[in-house]
Structure 1
Amino acid sequence: MARPSDEAPARARFDRLDALRGAAIVWMVVFHFGFDLAHYRLIDADFYRDRFWLVQRTLIVSLFLLCAGIGQAVAARQGQRWPRFWRRWAQVAGCAALVSAGSALMFPQSWISFGVLHGMAVMLIAARIVAPWALRPGGWRLVVLLAAGIVAVLLPSFVQHAFFDTRATNWLGLVTRKPRTEDWVPVLPWLGVMLWGVAAGAWALKRRPGLLAGAIGRPLQPLAMLGRWSLSVYMLHQPVLIGAILGGIALIGR
């Protein structure tokens, strides 16, 4: 059990976590800018099959979900109550619905029915339930979370069924073939990554609070600011990027 002096203050400012989330935002914006350029045939890149871009996507989503898991551990340490959690959750779920609607207009045949925000909305509930438990004394709890994460990550490789191949059921992840969609972040295997985030956050809060709550230098402050407004940036960056690209195409074509 950690000594009280080792634990992060209940209301500490977690600038380092915000900056890490901000780094994920910057990485995502750069990735999507490249995707948009390829979509409008301004660059020659295959974001659907090229391993380089597929790995980039996996790493970006992983970083977001790790930060979300760590964030739930922080919220539990700060005594967040369920009503506040549900208010934030409603924002994520509402934005997920907007993503579905927007993608249906742009990609009618491959619209997003269960992308990163949809997956996050489901997985956040699980993370919110286990985070207070993970913060209790006993290192074995973190081992259990790590093991559960490994099971979640590996299960889709061993269990698949055609029942899960429809839009109504592929959100779980036990599919026999990847669905045709612009973004797909099913509960399995990605819940495992968020559980690892919860475990990492609980361990850091109890053993190395400075990893999350320590001061950051002035150059990293913009990243921390982005991290605190990550959902807003996520929702706005694609309309801005696409608008800028189309505007540039129109100007060049004159």
Structure 2
Amino acid sequence: MVIQQQNTPHLKLKERIFEVDLLRGSAIVLMVIFHFCYNLAVFDWWDINTNTQLEWRIFRRIIVSGFLLAVGMSSYLVYSQQIRWLKLTKSTLKLIVVAWLITVGSVFMYPNAWVYFGIIHFIAIALPIAALFSRFPNTALIIGITCLITYQLGWISMRPLWEWSVHHLHIPTKTIDLVSFVPWIASVLIGIYLMHKSLFNLKIKNNKLTNSLARLGQHSLAIYILHQPIMYGIMFAIAKI
């Protein structure tokens, strides 16, 4: 996401924020690794279960947290001074189109576990919310923390909506990618506050590794769209040989 230069009392903005690109790039590399391992299990080349085994569940949560924190931080940089509705609309529509393509593609790749609300679907909804809250970072933090606490206490859950959708919309009970609105919206809202307070300004040194990861972060959406069909296609071809 390109960050337009604007004035803010909290930090001096550049055309791009290196640390945010680095975070996004690191997350996309970890996601490629995760999906590679998942595909090995799909083709029975590795006996693992990424849905039930604790280490894989933690690994996935780290990846999703990285992406969603970056969404919140980028939203603050772009929209905290003024919500540019045309830009926001274009970005959201692009995500909706990508989400639809992912759903259609997953139906062919995983007919019994296709994606109906994965991370891109989630971001398509979370981005406008983040844009609105970017001007109220303290409120975003309070709501984010409240969301986490109430979810952990079992006071709020998306499971009733999921069960209704399974029964009435006939979506599969298993899916390869599901990002529940609660509690994951908390990561986006907390990301807004982190950038507002410059708490992610780590001053990471540029080197070959960090520069490469940051460049990947600048193209994370394209990589996300392409990496799994390519890997799955190659493995499928190998399995047929």
**Interval containing the TM-score (normalised by the shorter chain):** 0.7 to 0.9
Greater CA radius of gyration, 1 or 2?
1
**Aligned equivalent of 1:8:** 12
Q: Secondary structure at the match of 1:41?
A: coil
* 2:176 aligned with 1:182: yes
**Could you tell me whether the CA contact under 8 Å between 1:69 and 1:197 is conserved in 2?**
yes
The alignment-based identity, stated in percent, is: 28
Change (3 A) 1:123 1:42: same
Unaligned runs of 5+ in 2: 1-6
Corresponding letter in the other structure for 1:131: S
Residue among 150, 156, 170 paired with 1:155: 150
Corresponding letter in the other structure for 1:192: A
- Deviations, residues 90-114 of structure 1 (Å, cap 9, x unaligned): 1111111111111122222322111
Displacement of 1:159: 3.2
Displacement of 1:153: 2.2
Stretch of structure 1 that moved more, 154-163 or 108-117: 154-163
* 2:165 aligned with 1:167: yes
**Could you tell me whether the CA contact under 8 Å between 1:15 and 1:215 is conserved in 2?**
no
Change (3 A) 1:83 1:154: same
Residue among 89, 97, 105 paired with 2:108: 105
**Could you tell me whether the CA contact under 8 Å between 1:163 and 1:169 is conserved in 2?**
no
Change (3 A) 1:104 1:166: farther
Change (3 A) 1:190 1:169: farther
State the distance in 2 between where 1:96 and 1:145 align.
25
Change (3 A) 1:4 1:40: closer
Corresponding letter in the other structure for 2:74: G
**Could you tell me whether the CA contact under 8 Å between 1:155 and 1:188 is conserved in 2?**
no
- Deviations, residues 172-218 of structure 1 (Å, cap 9, x unaligned): xxxxxx942221112111111110111101111xxx68547x76233
Residue pairs, 1:26-37, within 5 angstroms: 26-37=29-40
Change (3 A) 1:105 1:4: closer
Name the count of aligned residue pairs: 229
* 2:189 aligned with 1:191: no
* 2:241 aligned with 1:243: no
* 2:233 aligned with 1:229: no
Q: Secondary structure at the match of 2:239?
A: helix
Corresponding letter in the other structure for 2:61: T
Residue pairs, 1:18-33, within 5 angstroms: 18-33=21-36
Corresponding letter in the other structure for 2:12: A
Change (3 A) 1:90 1:215: farther
Q: What TM-score comes out, normalization by structure 2 length? A: 0.84
Change (3 A) 1:113 1:202: same
Residue among 196, 199, 207 paired with 1:217: 207
Residue among 116, 125, 138 paired with 2:119: 116
Unaligned runs of 5+ in 1: 135-140, 171-177
CA-based RMSD of the aligned residues comes to 2.7
Displacement of 1:5: 7.9
Corresponding letter in the other structure for 1:104: V
Change (3 A) 1:222 1:50: same
**Could you tell me whether the CA contact under 8 Å between 2:43 and 2:239 is conserved in 1?**
no
Displacement of 1:164: 4.6
Stretch of structure 1 that moved more, 215-224 or 24-33: 215-224
**Could you tell me whether the CA contact under 8 Å between 2:64 and 2:119 is conserved in 1?**
yes
